[in-house]
């Protein structure tokens, strides 16, 4: 009975990895075509953040492919310790360059606040993953 549960969890994670790979490939396509599609609230500064977005999404695709092959808890935690700073870098670049223009200034304020909150939660997630790796927790 224990093996069935373990196999079921592993199978569910594998499906999750595949879904994440597909989602990230789609996101990579979308983010790289937003300027071509004339999204009205993006400015020309968007090209200054696209490299960080591409780096984060590309690393996530590679990590999830590796997780499909090597589905070990320590590898997932180590992967997150690499992915979280990359996604935080992308968020920071978006915050710093802020490639958006909104009709209401309050929108800009709330988007910037939201980016900061997400970066704080990312830092917390990094700490959690670090301790899970060190303590060997699933």
* Per-residue model confidence (pLDDT) at position 11: 79
Asked whether residue 4 carries a pLDDT value surpassing 70, the answer given is no
Find the mean pLDDT for residues 105-133. 96
Beta bridge partners of 100: 42
| Tokens read off for 23 | 């989602």
Neighbouring C-beta atoms of residue 74, cutoff 10 Å: 13
> Residue 102: enclosing H or E segment and its boundaries?
none
The whole-number pLDDT of residue 26 equals 98
What do you get for the CA distance between the two ends of the chain, in Å?
19
**Of 41, 86, 78, which is closest to residue 60 (Cα–Cα)?**
86
Question: In whole angstroms, what separates CA 138 from the centre of its chain?
Answer: 20
Q: How many CA atoms lie within 13 A of 36 on its CB side?
A: 5
What pLDDT score does 7 carry?
53
pLDDT tens-place string over residues 38-56: 999 999 999 999 999 999 9
Find out whether 55 and 88 touch, Cβ atoms under 8 Å. no
pLDDT at 119: 98
Q: What digits encode the pLDDT tens for the residues 52-109?
A: 999 999 999 999 999 999 999 999 999 999 999 999 999 999 999 999 999 888 999 9
* pLDDT band, residue 10 (cuts 50/70/90): confident
Task: Using alpha carbons, select from 61, 130, 121, 54 the residue that is nearest to residue 93.
Answer: 54
Check if the beta carbon of residue 48 is closer than 8 Å to that of residue 25.
no
């Amino acid at each position: 009975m224990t093996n069935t549960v373990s196999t079921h969890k592993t199978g569910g994670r594998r499906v999750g990895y595949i879904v994440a790979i597909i989602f990230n490939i789609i996101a990579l396509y979308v983010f790289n075509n937003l300027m071509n599609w004339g999204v009205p609230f993006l400015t020309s500064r968007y090209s200054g953040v696209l490299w960080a977005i591409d780096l984060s999404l590309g690393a996530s695709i590679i990590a999830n492919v590796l997780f499909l092959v090597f589905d070990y808890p320590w590898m997932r935690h180590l992967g997150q310790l690499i992915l979280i700073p990359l996604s935080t870098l992308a968020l920071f670049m978006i915050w710093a360059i802020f490639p958006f223009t909104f009709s209401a200034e309050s929108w800009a304020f709330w988007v910037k606040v939201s980016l900061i909150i997400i970066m704080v939660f990312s830092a917390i997630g990094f700490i959690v993953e670090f301790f899970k790796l060190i303590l060997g927790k699933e």
